[in-house]
Amino acid sequence: MTGSLPASVVTIAACLYYPAAITLGWLIVVDTEDRAAALGRAAELQTIGSKAAYAGNTVLETVTFGWYDAASRTTKTYDEAVALGMARGRRANLAAWALAAMTAAFALLVHGGAVRGPASAGRRAARHLCCTALVLFVVGVAATSLSLLTSKEVPGIGTVVFRYEAKSIVSTIRDLLASHDVVLGGLVLLFSIVVPLLKAAVILVSTATHGAGRDRAVALVHAVGRWSMADVFAVAVLLAMLALGRDPATRATTGPGLYAFAGSCLISLWAAAWLPRSARL
């Protein structure tokens, strides 16, 4: 008797976890995109040009006794965009919390199924933790990680939005490459996407090979891990958010993507920690 959970329990939990986690991850990505699009439309209606047009339309609507209703339609469009953005944001946050709770429970169950167990249980733990990290990784790079809103109260006009952006890791890389900042875009692509995927692939290979092949794969995992800057990248985004938050005109908020990405980094390290033990047969 090893004192670990039966493999069948972990298998059943995996069959329940992966479909639910993928579904929640898809909801998070879609909802954060919808939120960004809706709030982006609202921000466009708050620019100084839109405000000036709205003021003119308000005058025309007043003198035509509501026959020319462009101002009212603009107000309705703005209110609907804000309401949609807030609703999608709340749903994305609920899905993110549900995914976090499920992932924590599943990871602990996987750990409990491998602790004090045979080497095969350690390989199973590394494999499941790696797959869990990949689910979070996809959410982390695709969902919004950081939202920036720069606005200011202008006398006689009201709140004017100068800038609104909602960034994910993928969109950040795309924008850097589109602006011909190839070096920075390439570095972010390498250390935040290529290296984590390479590390995950090697972990999965190491759990499926035997003998000297497994030893080489484990050594490669640790070699890649030393050069991985995925966790450093996540911290850098957070520090950038805090620095921007000091500007009274700019409000920066983190999104589910940042936390999913950080969770992916941590669980990937957890998966790699099982490899030395699982490599010994």
Per-residue pLDDT of the chain (281 residues; tens, 9 = 90+): 445 667 788 889 999 999 999 999 999 999 999 999 999 999 999 998 888 888 888 888 888 888 888 889 999 999 999 999 999 999 999 999 999 999 999 999 998 888 777 777 888 888 999 999 999 999 999 999 888 888 888 777 778 888 898 988 888 888 888 888 788 778 778 878 888 888 888 888 887 776 655 666 666 666 666 555 555 565 565 556 555 555 677 787 889 998 999 899 889 888 888 876 544 44
How high is the pLDDT of residue 151? Answer: 85
Q: Locate tokens 């699982």: which residue?
A: 278
Q: Which helix (H) or strand (E) holds 163?
A: strand 158-167
Do 147 and 166 touch, CB atoms closer than 8 A? yes
CA distance 243 to 239: 6
The separation between CA 66 and the C-alpha centre of its own chain, rounded to angstroms, equals 45
Do 106 and 17 touch, CB atoms closer than 8 A? yes
Cα–Cα distances (Å) from 8 to 13, 27, 94, in that order, read: 9, 29, 30
How high is the pLDDT of residue 1? Answer: 41
How high is the pLDDT of residue 256? Answer: 94
Do 131 and 18 touch, CB atoms closer than 8 A? yes
Which residues lie across from 152 on neighbouring strands? 160
Q: What is the pTM of this model?
A: 0.86
How high is the pLDDT of residue 163? Answer: 86
DSSP state of 79: H
How high is the pLDDT of residue 280? Answer: 45
Report the helix count and the strand count for the chain, using DSSP H and E. Answer: 10, 3
